[in-house]
């Protein structure tokens, strides 16, 4: 069994980030499903560490079921280690499903407050072996990437150690589609006075972003910051140190290299995947031409508030990840079975998404024209294609679900054997 397992269910692009970070460091994680965990994989083929990436914590809880949840708790209590990022951190909280940590998730006063992404400055918390030795001597502008994080609700429990806290906005922090450091400072005061709207993320100031604790003979570390983000040297250094402590062996890798998703090599020239790549490239290009999408990072497309940018990011990255791995069984057998339906769904998806994006563009213009007709039904169209917010579904799920399983099989190599 691999030293590290990654829970793959409902991880989307965040699972790919976590797998890539560990793989480039030579750690070769194994990607497992909630069903694997529920059926006893963590006890019959024990790992040292279970890593749970970002994504919807409730959906992860549902994928695990009662047996999977009990299995993870037993794994930690018997000496295993748990590392959760963002949604994986929420899953580890009390009320989040696993109840490894006695803290809960703190609610937001405003939905806009949750739409924070980019860089936050951090300060080390309490002196602790899990804090890198040089961290307390580091400058105060060390930054961690956050991608729409939740928040911890601390309680009077001294068994939880705060390893890092937010110190304030970093150089590249956004609220929805507004980049804060490109605004004049006066704008924030004006908006507060005129609209009662405070976009400056003071609600995060001083809040814990990375904590750890023990449960039985094992332990956990929960981070609402994405330490596995590519090309984030300070965060990557903290992640390497956390892994060293959780695995109880020395690791000293360099930063996770930049991930230029459009430049991913093609090692599997499958015609249906090639067509999916071309269609998604055309969809993204259309969105950019119509001022709906924009370049954010080499691995992340940005989007205007309310658009399904995260879903498009996940699908684009999954396709290019699958193309970047030479197939063998059981991935080939899986794809031979699923590819025909995928191809049919891809045609429907292409037409539906293009029509939807153009309708959003029309609405963006007509909403400022008082005598123009309203563009109706946008919410219904979006949910038919992408499912309800947070829950997902629709045509998009018909493509993403088989791609996620194909990616899991490919990234696991030939180790799945005949069980799939």
Give the model confidence (pLDDT) of 175-208 as tens digits. 999 999 899 989 988 998 998 888 888 888 899 9
pLDDT mean over 59-86: 96
Q: Would you place residue 417 in the very low, low, confident or very high pLDDT band (cuts 50, 70, 90)?
A: very low
Q: In CATH, what is the architecture of 4-247?
A: 3-Layer(aba) Sandwich (3.40)
Q: What is the pLDDT of residue 45?
A: 72
Cβ-contact 225, 149 below 8 angstroms = yes
> For the segment 229-265, what is each residue's pLDDT rounded down to a tens digit?
999 999 999 999 999 999 988 887 889 999 999 999 9
Does residue 108 carry a pLDDT above 80?
no
List the alpha helices (DSSP H) in 200-330: 233-247, 271-289, 309-323
Average confidence score pLDDT of the chain: 92
pLDDT of 110-129, one tens digit each? Answer: 777 789 999 999 999 888 99
* Secondary structure (3-state) at 51: strand
Tokens of 159: 């068994």
| Residue 138 binned pLDDT confidence (cut-offs 50, 70, 90) | low
Tokens of 254: 């360099």
pLDDT on residue 139: 63
Per-residue pLDDT tens for 202-225? 888 899 999 999 999 999 999 999
Res 136: pLDDT? 65
pTM assigned to the model: 0.94
Is residue 389 predicted with pLDDT exceeding 90? no
Spatial CA neighbour of 201 closest among 148, 268, 247: 148
Cis peptide bond prior to 369, omega within 30° of 0: no
SS3 call for 110: coil
Q: Distance between the two ends of the chain, CA-based, in angstroms?
A: 17
The confidence score (pLDDT) of residue 418 equals 39
Pairing of strands 218-223, 208-215: antiparallel
Chain length of the chain: 420
Phi, psi torsion values for 14, nearest 5 degrees: -70, -30
Which tokens sit at 109?
């006063």
State the DSSP string of 213-229. EEETTEEEEEESS-TT-
φ, ψ (nearest 5 deg) of residue 96: -90, -15
What is the C-alpha separation between 346 and 180, in angstroms, rounded? 37
Torsion angle, CA of 343/345/346/351, rounded to 10 degrees? Answer: 140
């Amino acid at each position: 069994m691999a030293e590290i397992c990654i829970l793959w269910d409902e991880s989307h692009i965040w699972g790919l980030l976590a797998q890539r970070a560990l793989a480039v460091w030579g750690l070769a994680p194994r990607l497992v499903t909630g069903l694997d965990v529920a059926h006893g994989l963590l006890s019959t083929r024990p790992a040292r560490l279970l890593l749970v990436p970002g994504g919807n914590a409730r959906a992860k809880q549902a994928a695990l079921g009662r047996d999977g949840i009990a299995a993870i708790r037993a794994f930690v209590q018997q000496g295993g280690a748990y590392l959760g990022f963002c949604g994986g951190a929420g899953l580890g909280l009390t009320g989040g499903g696993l109840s490894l940590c006695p803290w809960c998730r703190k609610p937001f006063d405003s939905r806009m407050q949750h739409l924070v992404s980019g860089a936050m400055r951090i300060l080390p918390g309490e002196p602790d072996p899990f804090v890198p030795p040089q961290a307390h001597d580091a400058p105060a502008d060390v930054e961690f990437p956050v991608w729409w994080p939740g928040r911890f609700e601390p309680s009077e429990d001294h068994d939880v150690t705060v390893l890092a806290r937010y110190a304030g906005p970093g150089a590249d922090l956004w609220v929805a589609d507004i980049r804060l450091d490109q605004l004049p400072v006066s704008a924030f005061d004006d908006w507060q006075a005129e609209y009662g709207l405070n976009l400056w993320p003071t609600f995060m100031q001083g809040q814990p972003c990375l904590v750890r604790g023990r449960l039985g003979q094992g332990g956990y570390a929960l981070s609402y910051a994405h330490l596995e983000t590519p090309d984030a040297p300070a965060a990557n250094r903290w992640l390497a140190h956390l892994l060293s402590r959780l695995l109880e062996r020395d690791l000293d890798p360099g930063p996770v290299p930049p991930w230029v998703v459009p430049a991913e090599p093609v090692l599997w020239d499958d015609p249906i995947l090639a067509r999916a790549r071309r269609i998604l490239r055309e969809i993204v290009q259309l969105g950019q031409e119509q001022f709906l999408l924009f370049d954010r990072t080499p691995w992340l497309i940005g989007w205007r508030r309310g658009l399904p940018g995260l879903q498009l990011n996940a699908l684009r990255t999954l396709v290019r990840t699958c193309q970047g791995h030479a197939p063998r069984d059981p991935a080939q057998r899986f794809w031979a079975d699923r590819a025909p339906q995928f191809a049919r769904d891809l045609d429907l998806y292409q037409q539906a998404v293009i029509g939807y994006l153009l309708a959003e563009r029309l609405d963006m213009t007509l909403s400022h024209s008082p005598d123009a007709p309203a563009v109706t039904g946008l919410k219904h169209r979006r949910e038919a294609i992408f499912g309800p917010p947070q829950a997902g579904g629709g045509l998009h799920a018909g493509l993403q679900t088989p791609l996620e399983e194909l990616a899991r099989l490919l990234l696991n190599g030939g180790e799945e054997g005949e069980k799939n």
